[in-house]
A and B are shown apart, each in its own frame.
Chain A
């Protein structure tokens, strides 16, 4: 995906910055490394990213300062990445105009989920009701939670819909069971291994109904993969 959302990464620890770039680039995101710590506002205005990941401890001025500066001209969503986890820091982050914060150590899956959810909230990714093609003649509508093949449509539950979205984001790569459990685990409903297996099997049935019986593959002891039979 060449035209995915552009994420600006402001992090003075070079190693962590490179890892964040590598991590995000493997998914639907493009990245921009902002390193002019003396004039971040100018650099970021020029880069015009879709979301800014902002470290709190930076040389010269801290992240709070820059967030306030940015907020004078930009409405780009800002997510703080902070090693401090005191309530006060989180309050400060939000007061200075941040939209979300994530604490170090950054958990890779959590970071992805938070970035996606923030982008969805701010730019309404699913708002247009766009349809994604799963296979020739088979489409998925994320907002309607529906699969469609010609005139035949199949409704998906929230979990089934979420699974489709995760499989598409993985782009054919294997998703570990842990990652799927992590995503399905709702704040209100805890999931276990059985719940995941049940959901996967139900999704397989739904997909079979639109003519894709063998698109979700089990990778033994690891997880699942979405794609053509190998």
Chain B
């Protein structure tokens, strides 16, 4: 707050005082008790003393105004530079308000943490029954290979596993800041491992991977979270490819100057033009969601959230229904100094 603004805030007082003093001076001049010069002199003195008093008062309160003008944390300690009774009163109210907000936030955070831990614990708890389901289905399939009911239970079990993994991933997302470590990743071995991790899904769907990467390619990112993104992209590529028709998922990487693009291209059902801009929206399943029953509208949302946190670009492109889909992850290429 400038001195001018300070004065403007006190315009009424100053005006009242000026008018009052002027009336005194006029009364004195009219009554003729003194000369006009004397009256003006008295006015001048009064103005001077008042101006000094206002200056001192402004100077005294300047730290408080400076605090108010700060961009951040202006009201963190509202009583710190408070001088007047009014300022102290406001400070007290602010402190009370801050405390209430703080408590509410802490409660919210605790609730959230409890809820998140509970979800994680429940997911872990669900894994034993899921193991039993897989083992039973496997036993029955062994006794009667080709039995469709058990085959289908096995497949549903796998879907459940994927969903539970997504739930765990989403529960871990918020702690991201501390959990993020960029390092040099060699793309070939990295993608090979990512594909191997999805081996069962590839085999179960009769869809096969084709990996084309030059041996020395590297990128800089967080390997753990990039792996989660790749898992989603590979999972989608398998999910939307025609099952047991020798379909291929092409995985590759190419350098474009400072950036390296990793692509996952499938020969599957593709995405209608009208849906493509919305694929990252939570719970959006679009036309493909109506055609197949495997869309959840969660996987790509998770991938996009991770990509945003890693500050990398994630693109989904498709020439349209039946034309396959290409997912691209754009990552920084390590420069020579980043060895």
Q: Which chain A positions have C-beta within 8 A of B209?
A: 190
Kindly provide the distance from the CB of A18 to the nearest chain B CB, expressed in whole angstroms.
Answer: 9
Residues of A170-198 whose CB lies within 8 A of B: 173-174, 176, 178, 181-182, 185, 187-188, 190-194
Q: Do B142 and A26 have beta carbons less than 8 Å apart?
A: yes
Among B10-18, B196-204, B284-292, the stretch that binds chain A is B196-204
Given contacts A16-B128, A83-B127, contact A193 B246 (CB under 8 A): yes
Q: Do B131 and A106 have beta carbons less than 8 Å apart?
A: yes
Q: Once A and B bind, how many residue pairs between them come within 8 Å at the CB atom?
A: 90
Q: Do B145 and A23 have beta carbons less than 8 Å apart?
A: no
Given contacts A26-B139, A181-B203, contact A190 B195 (CB under 8 A): yes
Instruction: Indicate if B295 sits at the interface (CB-CB under 8 A).
Output: no
**Whole-angstrom distance between the alpha carbons of A141 and B292 in the complex?**
49
Residue from the list B124, B130, B134 in contact with A108, Cβ < 8 A? B134
Given contacts A23-B138, A105-B161, A222-B145, contact A13 B200 (CB under 8 A): no
**Whole-angstrom distance between the alpha carbons of A193 and B157 in the complex?**
23
B200-236 contact mask (Cβ, 8 Å, vs A): 1 or 0: 1011101011110000000000001000000000000
Instruction: Indicate if B146 sits at the interface (CB-CB under 8 A).
Output: yes
Instruction: Indicate if A158 sits at the interface (CB-CB under 8 A).
Output: no
Residues of B126-164 whose CB lies within 8 A of A: 127-136, 138-139, 141-142, 145-146, 157, 161
Q: Do A104 and B128 have beta carbons less than 8 Å apart?
A: yes
**Whole-angstrom distance between the alpha carbons of A105 and B136 in the complex?**
12
Given contacts A22-B139, A26-B142, A176-B145, contact A182 B127 (CB under 8 A): no
Q: Do A221 and B157 have beta carbons less than 8 Å apart?
A: no
Candidate in B125, B131, B138, B224 with the most chain A CB atoms within 10 angstroms: B131
Residues of A1-42 whose CB lies within 8 A of B: 13, 15-16, 19-20, 22-23, 26
Smallest Cβ-Cβ distance to A192: which chain B residue: B208
Q: Do A19 and B135 have beta carbons less than 8 Å apart?
A: yes
Instruction: Indicate if A208 sits at the interface (CB-CB under 8 A).
Output: no
Given contacts A190-B209, A192-B208, A223-B145, contact A23 B139 (CB under 8 A): yes
Smallest Cβ-Cβ distance to B124: which chain A residue: A83
Instruction: Indicate if B88 sits at the interface (CB-CB under 8 A).
Output: no
Kindly provide the distance from the CB of B211 to the nearest chain A CB, expressed in whole angstroms.
Answer: 7
**Whole-angstrom distance between the alpha carbons of A190 and B224 in the complex?**
23
Q: Do A83 and B246 have beta carbons less than 8 Å apart?
A: no
Q: Do A221 and B146 have beta carbons less than 8 Å apart?
A: yes
Q: Which chain B positions have C-beta within 8 A of A109?
A: 138
Residue from the list B130, B135, B168, B208 in contact with A190, Cβ < 8 A? B208
Instruction: Indicate if A205 sits at the interface (CB-CB under 8 A).
Output: no
Q: Do B132 and A19 have beta carbons less than 8 Å apart?
A: yes
**Whole-angstrom distance between the alpha carbons of A213 and B136 in the complex?**
35
Q: Which chain A positions have C-beta within 8 A of B135?
A: 16, 19-20, 22-23, 106, 108
Smallest Cβ-Cβ distance to B141: which chain A residue: A176
Instruction: Indicate if A84 sits at the interface (CB-CB under 8 A).
Output: yes
Instruction: Indicate if A107 sits at the interface (CB-CB under 8 A).
Output: yes
Q: Do B145 and A104 have beta carbons less than 8 Å apart?
A: no
Q: Which chain B positions have C-beta within 8 A of A174?
A: 145
Residues of A84-139 whose CB lies within 8 A of B: 84-85, 87, 103-109
Residue from the list B124, B127, B141, B199 in contact with A185, Cβ < 8 A? B199
Given contacts A108-B134, A187-B192, contact A182 B199 (CB under 8 A): yes
Instruction: Indicate if A47 sits at the interface (CB-CB under 8 A).
Output: no
Q: Which chain B positions have C-beta within 8 A of A154?
A: none
Residues of B151-197 whose CB lies within 8 A of A: 157, 161, 168, 192, 195-196
Candidate in A20, A176, A192, A219 with the most chain B CB atoms within 10 angstroms: A192
Q: Which chain A positions have C-beta within 8 A of B127?
A: 83, 103-105
Q: Do B200 and A83 have beta carbons less than 8 Å apart?
A: no
Q: Which chain B positions have C-beta within 8 A of A103?
A: 127
Q: Which chain B positions have C-beta within 8 A of A87?
A: 224
Smallest Cβ-Cβ distance to B204: which chain A residue: A178
Smallest Cβ-Cβ distance to A104: which chain B residue: B127
Kindly provide the distance from the CB of A85 to the nearest chain B CB, expressed in whole angstroms.
Answer: 8
Smallest Cβ-Cβ distance to A191: which chain B residue: B208
Q: Do B246 and A13 have beta carbons less than 8 Å apart?
A: no
Q: Do A222 and B134 have beta carbons less than 8 Å apart?
A: no
Q: Which chain A positions have C-beta within 8 A of B157?
A: 105
**Whole-angstrom distance between the alpha carbons of A15 and B196 in the complex?**
30
**Whole-angstrom distance between the alpha carbons of A221 and B204 in the complex?**
14
Q: Do A178 and B134 have beta carbons less than 8 Å apart?
A: no
Ranked 3 nearest A-B pairs via Cβ: A104-B127, A192-B208, A105-B130
5 residue pairs from A and B, CB less than 8 Å apart: A13-B132, A106-B134, A190-B202, A193-B206, A194-B246
Binding site for A on B (CB under 8 A): 124-125, 127-136, 138-139, 141-142, 145-146, 157, 161, 168, 192, 195-196, 199-200, 202-204, 206, 208-211, 224, 246
With A108-B134, A174-B145 given, can you name 15 additional A-B contacts, CB distance below 8 Å?
A: A15-B129, A16-B129, A19-B136, A23-B135, A103-B127, A104-B124, A105-B131, A105-B133, A105-B161, A106-B135, A109-B138, A173-B142, A176-B145, A178-B203, A185-B199
